[in-house]
Chains A and B, each alone.
Chain A
């Protein structure tokens, strides 16, 4: 897998994000309109696409899309 695929998937899930604006170093919690619901969307997305069910702790410690990518790759 590559990180661009993950970025595309996140952009597709987060309807309010303009495609092409998320970068590997984007802090996802600082994106416009971020809410606790987006944390759930990320968990469901990664579970669905990569069969990895992130723990609350893993998500809490991840800051950027790159961090999420590394968790997925380490599995």
Chain B
């Protein structure tokens, strides 16, 4: 048995932070400079109190609306990928399952991943179907990086945006999802991390006092990024990931019709395109309107590539996720 991505729908929170507004919050920064450096025009920011599962819920409502003949009772597995879970227990997937009114005969799991999360979740959905344990997997992805960015962290506020995506992966003949490459290097954990706010180092009174002027006192933690090390990791790892993913799928570089990478940043994407010698017309990017939406960036890009007519049926598409962990993964799908 084999599977395919049947549908992708996504939701962006209504608050949009444009470059004029953002530049106005910092001394000596202009909207032109932000656009030039980061290539992002605007990013969506969640409403106060809105969390990952809320964005995933909204994205699923859109998916249901766009597929009027689709019977949600046929969903037999729900995967939810986010780094902003509702609770320590139960799983957010379980909560979402109830909110969405899904059938009882449906397994639910959470997957807190990040930049490579879409690849890992897709492999999981594909494996469930391939093994004959599921036929229709609702794969939800949502991230809210704005909840862990300090208001003074200029670079991260320019780069990141919040989003939720609903992806329907289902059984299909012929197969549309290829083999996967996975990898991990935990020595890079400190180079992109959300400090505090979880089990190893919960927030305390001092933290709340220190960040009393931040929204919600940064009570979910604070993201720290070593941009230089993340760039080095990407330049070192991703070209090899391209090679390994091609080899695993026994396909040549020239036979790939479209490359859709995690939309890390303008700089990283441009550097990778150049290093991997990918022709511009085969290298799809979508970050200008949304920024880096973490685990949502690949499916949002796929959706737009299709809407723009750059992704059509039968095309071979290389998908690569890489980042926080460090974690990376790749596959090749047939659209």
Binding site for B on A (CB under 8 A): 35-37, 39-41, 43-44, 47-48, 53, 55-56, 59
Contact B236–A53 (Cβ < 8 Å): yes
Closest to B235 in A: A47
Contact B228–A36 (Cβ < 8 Å): yes
B227 CB-CB contact with A under 8 Å? yes
Contact B271–A44 (Cβ < 8 Å): yes
Contact B267–A40 (Cβ < 8 Å): yes
Q: How far is the CB of B266 from chain A (nearest CB, A)?
A: 10
3 shortest interchain CB distances as A-B pairs: A44-B271, A40-B231, A56-B228
* Contact for B267 among A41, A53, A59, CB less than 8 A: A41
Binding site for A on B (CB under 8 A): 37, 155, 226-229, 231-232, 235-236, 267, 271, 274-275
Closest to A37 in B: B37
Contact A48–B271 (Cβ < 8 Å): yes
Contact A43–B235 (Cβ < 8 Å): yes
Contacts of A48 in B (CB 8 A): 271, 274-275
Q: How far apart are the CA atoms of A56 and B236 in the complex, in Å?
A: 14
Q: How far apart are the CA atoms of A55 and B191 in the complex, in Å?
A: 14
Contact B235–A53 (Cβ < 8 Å): yes
Closest to B266 in A: A37
Contacts of A43 in B (CB 8 A): 228, 231-232, 235
A56 and B232 in contact, given A36-B227, A47-B275, A48-B274 (Cβ under 8 angstroms): yes
Q: How far is the CB of B291 from chain A (nearest CB, A)?
A: 16
Q: How far is the CB of A1 from chain B (nearest CB, A)?
A: 19
* Contact for A39 among B37, B155, B228, B236, CB less than 8 A: B228
Closest to B37 in A: A37
Q: How far apart are the CA atoms of A37 and B227 in the complex, in Å?
A: 9
Q: How far is the CB of B325 from chain A (nearest CB, A)?
A: 19
Closest to B230 in A: A40
Contact A53–B274 (Cβ < 8 Å): no
Contacts of A55 in B (CB 8 A): 232
18 extra A-B contacts, CB within 8 A, seeds A44-B271, A56-B229: A35-B37, A36-B155, A36-B228, A37-B37, A37-B267, A43-B228, A43-B231, A44-B235, A44-B274, A47-B235, A47-B275, A48-B271, A53-B232, A53-B235, A53-B236, A55-B232, A56-B228, A56-B232
